[in-house]
């Protein structure tokens, strides 16, 4: 199962969204990240591989690229693109000229989402049906979303359709696919996906520190308060937390709370799904916590079964070779409890 990290940053915390020109210095992502940390002390830094390089020459800028006010490539009309200016970001359709009052921008291929729907420029050809590492950039009225999934041969989880579905699940109104495959890499304020490649350009987001509650610690607190789990509140959802959440689900299912997800537990568990009568707030919170433990949920569990939750279940199922239907059936919950 490939590693995936997603940065979903509220605009109220964003200081700057920009592109880093890496055509000449050919720095590693780690080096660029270090430079940005020094430039913005005390701030959060999110950085990932950027736009596709120019296919005509491996050492020129991507089709459309502007970084720090410097125009590096003017092929904006060939693809949809994101333009940036300070903390703002805007989507422009294929065929548009780059707006001169924006300091940074990058073309994407293909566009994923436009106006909250699948972009008319979306396609799966020629290689979009294959599992590869992916980097996606999107936004809605409240936040900017940057997501990277590592490239692991035959097991990277994401086709372009999956990329579209994922960004829709994140609530994006606009989103584009950036360079991926073996170039997929990021450092999201310390969470890293590494690659040996020195990519041609990088997208970065600088943000004020996040003072919101740690979702994993909030989940542990909830297990302690509601189920008397006795967990150390450390944000590490290890064996103790897993046993506690199994006991919690066993209590909800009316079976012996021994922390072992065996035949009786499985027999008394009823599938959870969008609109199901089996859904209860507590069961869904446990499901969200179990997904969070596997890095498929990143928010404080709220007990609501939404389209976003169904999409995350589907992604987990697909990565673990379970029937991908967005339903937390017994096979899925058993896998999550391992």
pLDDT at 193: 95
Main-chain phi, psi angles of 165, to 5 degrees: -60, -40
pLDDT band at 126 (very low <50, low <70, confident <90, very high): low
pLDDT for the residue 137: 98
Nearest-angstrom CA–CA distance, 248 and 238: 15
pLDDT tens-digit readout, 313-325: 999 999 999 999 9
What band does 94 get if pLDDT is binned at 50, 70 and 90? very high
DSSP codes of every residue in 149-191: E---TT-----HHHHHHHHHHTT-SEEEE-S-GGG--EEETTE
What is the rounded CA–CA span in Å between residue 102 and residue 153?
38
Q: Is the pLDDT of residue 56 over 70?
A: no
d(CA 267, CA 232): 31
- Residue 40's φ and ψ, nearest 5 degrees, are -125, 70
- Which residue bears the tokens 């859904």? 279
List the one residue out of 110, 196, 198 whose CA is nearest residue 160: 110
Residue 60, pLDDT > 80, answer no
Predicted local distance difference test score (pLDDT) of residue 88: 98
**Region 15-43: what's the mean pLDDT?**
94
Q: How confident is the model at residue 127, as a pLDDT?
A: 67
Judged against a pLDDT cut of 70, whether residue 122 lies above it is answered with yes
pLDDT tens digits along 197-244: 899 999 999 999 988 889 999 999 999 999 999 999 999 999 999 999
Predicted local distance difference test score (pLDDT) of residue 153: 67
Beta strand spans in the chain (E): 4-10, 14-21, 44-49, 64-67, 70-74, 81-85, 88-92, 104-107, 111-114, 117-118, 134-139, 143-149, 174-177, 186-188, 191-193, 201-207
The one-character DSSP state at 54 is P
| pLDDT per position as a tens digit, 130-147 | 788 999 999 999 999 999
Q: N- to C-terminal Cα distance for the chain?
A: 14
- In the block, residue with structure tokens 């999956």: 162
* Chain centroid offset of residue 23 CA: 27
pLDDT of the residue at 211:
82
DSSP 115: T
Q: What is residue 124's predicted lDDT score, i.e. its pLDDT?
A: 83
DSSP 182: G
Compute the residue count for the chain: 338
| Separation in Å, CA 227 to CA 223, 251, 267, 286, 328 | 5, 9, 22, 11, 22
pLDDT score for 114: 98
For residue 105, the model assigns a pLDDT of 97
Which H or E run contains 265?
helix 263-268
Contact of 145 with 176, CB cutoff 8 Å: no
Q: Residue 152: what pLDDT?
A: 80
- When pLDDT is averaged across residues 139-168 and rounded to a whole number, the result is 88
58: pLDDT strictly greater than 60: no
């Amino acid at each position: 199962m490939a590693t995936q990290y997603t940065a979903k940053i509220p605009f109220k915390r964003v200081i700057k969204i920009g592109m880093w020109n890496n055509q000449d210095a050919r720095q590693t992502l780690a080096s660029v990240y270090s430079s940005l940390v020094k430039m913005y002390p005390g701030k959060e830094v999110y950085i990932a591989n950027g736009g596709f390089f120019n296919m005509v020459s491996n050492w020129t800028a991507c089709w459309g690229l502007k970084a720090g006010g410097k125009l590096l490539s003017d092929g904006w009309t060939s693809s949809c693109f994101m333009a940036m200016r300070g903390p703002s970001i805007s989507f422009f359709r294929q065929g548009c000229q780059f707006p001169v009052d924006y300091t940074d921008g990058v073309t994407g291929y293909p566009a994923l989402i436009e106006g909250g729907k699948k972009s008319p420029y979306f396609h799966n050809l020629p290689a979009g049906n294959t599992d590869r590492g992916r980097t996606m950039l999107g936004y809605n009225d409240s936040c900017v979303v940057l997501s990277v999934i590592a490239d692991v041969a035959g097991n990277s989880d994401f086709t372009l359709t999956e990329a579209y579905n994922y960004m829709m699940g994140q609530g994006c109104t606009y989103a584009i696919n950036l360079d991926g495959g073996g170039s997929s890499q990021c450092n999201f304020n310390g969470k890293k996906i590494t690659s040996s490649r020195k990519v041609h350009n990088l997208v970065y987001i600088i943000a004020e520190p996040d003072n919101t509650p740690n979702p994993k610690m909030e989940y542990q607190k909830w297990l302690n308060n509601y189920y008397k789990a006795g967990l150390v509140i450390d944000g590490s959802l290890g064996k103790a937390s897993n046993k506690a959440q199994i006991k919690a689900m066993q209590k909800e299912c009316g079976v012996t709370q021994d922390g072992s997800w065996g035949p009786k537990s499985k027999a008394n568990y009823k599938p959870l799904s969008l609109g199901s009568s089996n859904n209860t707030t507590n069961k869904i919170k446990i499901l969200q916590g179990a997904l969070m433990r596997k890095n498929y949920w990143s928010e404080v569990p709220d007990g609501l079964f939404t389209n976003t939750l169904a999409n995350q279940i589907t992604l987990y199922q697909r990565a673990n070779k379970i029937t991908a239907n967005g339903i937390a059936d017994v096979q899925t919950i058993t896998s999550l409890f391992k």
